[in-house]
Structure 1
Amino acid sequence: MTQIEAARVGVLCSQGAQGTAIMRGLGDRGVSARAIGRRPSGAPPNGYCADLGEADQLLVAFQGLTSLCFTMPLVYDRKTVRRYARNVAEAAVKAGVRRVVFNSNTRIPPSPTDVAGFETRRDAEMILRESGLPVVVIRPTIYLENLLAPAVLHGIETDGVLAYPVPAEARIAWLGLRDLGAVAAAVLEREDVTPPVIEVGGADLTGPELAGHISHRLGRELAFVSVAPRDFEAGLAKVLGEDAARGVAGLYHWLQRHPDSGLMSGSETQARAGIEPTSIIEWAEATWPSSSNGADRS
């Protein structure tokens, strides 16, 4: 029996940045996980290829699993997301999966909104819960790795500006992908972690405070600039396409309209999963490990 056949934990959509972080988190805990990818060209070695739109493929990929972690890809069409969630739920039930951990990609406001990025994830959560499976939802805040997007990184390293589409005064519990992986792995491995929702994140920081922490690592001052979400969306469309960019940017449009919502602040990372969040300084040191001025990234 191969290691992948012996695996009892599966990671669906394992190819993206979030799925990769979750696979790494499980590996760090010594847990052998089955990687389940969406495309033949991207399926991991000895992993399974399964399209979220094909319930039969998912059923095959889920055979023998007891726990499943599911990260929704950057899809924001409501009908499509609902179909994906139903396929995953139905296949998991038929395969005998006993527990699902769903990474919603984002925090979700308590009341319905007109934002597809929120409402499609709310739909997916509901569908998974209605399957009757025990479901733990991980709701992350904004990822620190978003600051490494080319346009943002150029501003940090060349222009002395940290430009991002959030209100400067909004307190955000910025989260590293490594911490997402660690939390997901802890929840998958420990069946005693059973809250319905875990909101994960790091320390709450305003935009200028975030810039100040990164400035400390780089050894030079950074100014925080709140970018207009429409400009952010236009740049993102060149990379992700218009539909995905619109879905992602919708979250930032909402945050600009509700700067005092507190949606992206606060964290249950340590209390619920026993994971100590990585500090911004630690993250910055890992991102710029050999440079005191940010000019030499390795």
Structure 2
Amino acid sequence: MKILPQMDRPAFRPSKLDQKLLAYLRENAGKVPHMTISQLAEACGTGEATVTRFVKKMGYGSLQQFKVALAAELTENSRNFIINRDIDAHESALVTGRKLLEANVSTLERTLAALPEGLIENCAQKLLEARRIRFIGLGNSGFTARDSAYKFYRIGLESAGLDNSHDMFMMAALAGKGDVIVAVSQSGQSPELLQTLQLAHKQGAYCMLVTADGAAGQQEFIDACIIYEAKESLLETGSIKAKLAQFFVMDLLYTQVVKKMPEQALENKRRTAEAVRMLNGEE
């Protein structure tokens, strides 16, 4: 009986202790073949007898047999699966497409479900009251920062998007009370980004972080943290689901702001659209 498929859908009714083992396996499958029974039990917070019963429920006579089978499955997976363990290198493009679509929809649903009540409203109010708004991000998150700045600028809010660390540091040095800095980061761990927020916060700016890592928002210089649900593997870096989650959060903030100023937002969009038409030589 295969082990990896059972991590999400075990062929037995798992107990609470079994669920601890399954959770550890999902996150650390590559470590288990090299662990002793006592090490595995300690890592999972269970007893050795529980580990023995668990491997038997999984269809194996001993932990050693379980570890050998798991190592073989992991080796086979490394040959057959790309991006993540849901995508098979030999499947058709349409099958892959359906899997990606389901993953993207799931990402948005989980992001929305995890948002605390009132967080978006409070952040949107800060943006409305801001003297200046600066969206910042590096790498793929820089695209989101620039796009967001453009959206808010079109409705009349003083905003700009920065994706260069030198520009970000200079902006932070000149920030002050009434400014709002919105940082976008998948990992939430970019040193340049965090240093920018720290400096801007010291100058009196209100700092928001949009990230997939909730722990990153616990820094004392981050006033508000909006967490989206989009974990990436190494080969998924810059994936559509991460971009979708970022854009979804930004669009939610933007829509909430527009709800507070519908007539002004519409008028500003009309005026900026007319300006663009003039640039193109249209009447």
Higher gyration radius (CA)? 2
The structure in which a higher percent of residues are helix is 2
Determine if the TM-score, normalized by the shorter chain, exceeds 0.5.
no
TM-score normalised by L of structure 1: 0.27
